[in-house]
Structure 1
Amino acid sequence: MENIKENRQTSKRKHLNLGVREKTIFSIGLFVFFFVAILVWGSFIGEDDLYVDLLNKFQSPSFAHLFGTDWVGRDMLTRTIKGLSISMKIGLLATFTSTIIAIFLGVIGPTFGKKVDSVVTWFIDLVLSVPHTLVVILISIAMGGGMKGIVIGVAATHWTSLTRVIRAEVMQIMESDYTKIARNFGKSNWYIAKEHVLPHVIPQIIVGAVLIFPHAILHEASVTFLGFGLPPHEPAIGVILSESMKYLTSGDWWLAFFPGLSLVLVSMMVDRIGKNIEKLINPKTAYK
């Protein structure tokens, strides 16, 4: 009887303790909920919702204004949600573009021979040799600024790490027996890349794309903060933080605190999801 009770208690503990799979599913579901909520909420916020109310300017956080109000009486919670939605849209576009570039270069390098691989490696080293922020600023200025310039700038600088991961995986796959047999049977490089290489690197692509997203939105915010990204009339997080610097010395801390904290929390949440997915894919930690 005692053994039966102990077994029941042990099984209950196992059910109560969430594993990596459960935590990953829970975190993904939680982030997707907040992600969609911020995107939908931010998309429905128009200029009428960001109205100027000079009678309520510099209001500290309260139940009426959870994030306070700014120097012209605009609600900071509304501005923060709108800014996060803009940053997320830019992050999604930049992440998608960077992932496509990483897949293309990471697969064709080892698959199409040493000459092509050496060119890909040289191109990766070239992009990594220059600081990302400087490249994003230069590309944004060359493209005339705005959302188009910042998306192209961020996308053109965030594919290198994922390309290296994909390239390393593809190099191992190209040494396997089934790819050598396919080449001996006269299959083309495109066929081998499509049928034998690409399906095996999908997990690395998913993890890499998830981890690119927080870097993309943080770089967008930093470049916009410096004045080389989105224009000042856009309620982006970088614009809000840049404007709030003028009023920090007067004690209006909420103008920068809540927008900056919201951006960091979103970045940390996505980064955590990427690391959990990586644990889920890893055979050594998948069943813990």
Structure 2
Amino acid sequence: MSVAVVGRSLRLSIGMLTALRVPAVLTVSPGVATGAMLLAPVAVLPLGVLVGAIVWAGGRLELPALAVAFTALAALAVGSRALHLDGLSDVADGLTSSYDRERSLAVMKGGTAGPAGVAALVLVLGAQAAALTAFVSYGGEVRSAVLAGATVCASRAALWVTACTLAPPARPDGLGVTFTRRVPVLVAVVGWVGLALLSVLADPVRGPVGVAAAFVVVAVLTAHAVRRFGGVTGDVFGAGIEVALAVLLIGLAGA
């Protein structure tokens, strides 16, 4: 992959996954699309820094940990234009609306949040916030804040699974055609193994276990989406990210 392709891939990934303004990538080749998926954890580094800074400042000022956690998650939602949360809500509604594939896809495309979508948002955001409180260290310990930010970045590796070559697009148009089936399965597995090895620096037991659990949950979600919808959509991508973040935060809480 050339330097030019890497640069375009990174710009594309930043533009899709954050609210940061970057020069638009007008032509998305297969190589650029693959690179955008692989570089997702790097692309959201500014968001990881933002979350880490809020967690650190909240601990330094000895603010209520739960309030700090919700503030950090609110900033993360704004920084990502809440797209992943929207995907989580849509997938929950699609999975519970009907066993008919076309009906489920229509519900997901509708854009309104039903009872299942609202419940999914409350439960997943609640789990994220509850776990994130463990990263708020009174006295402002930098290590906990760095780990919180790193977890945000690592959660975007969910795209390596949802965009792997085993998951076809659910629709013949839209986001799925461009970004699905871009990441080789071996690359996805090796990438997550690398994350597990890095997590040993946080905790030699809870780190790898948390990463493994996040990988399994995202893989199960992706497989279920393929079975129910006939493939994956951009909403499944977002849902995978949010679920991965929740599992990683829970697994690494207090590490």
Structure 1 and Structure 2 fold alike (TM over 0.5):
no
- Scaled by the length of structure 1, the TM-score of the pair is 0.35
- Scaled by the length of structure 2, the TM-score of the pair is 0.38
Larger of the two Rg values belongs to structure: 1
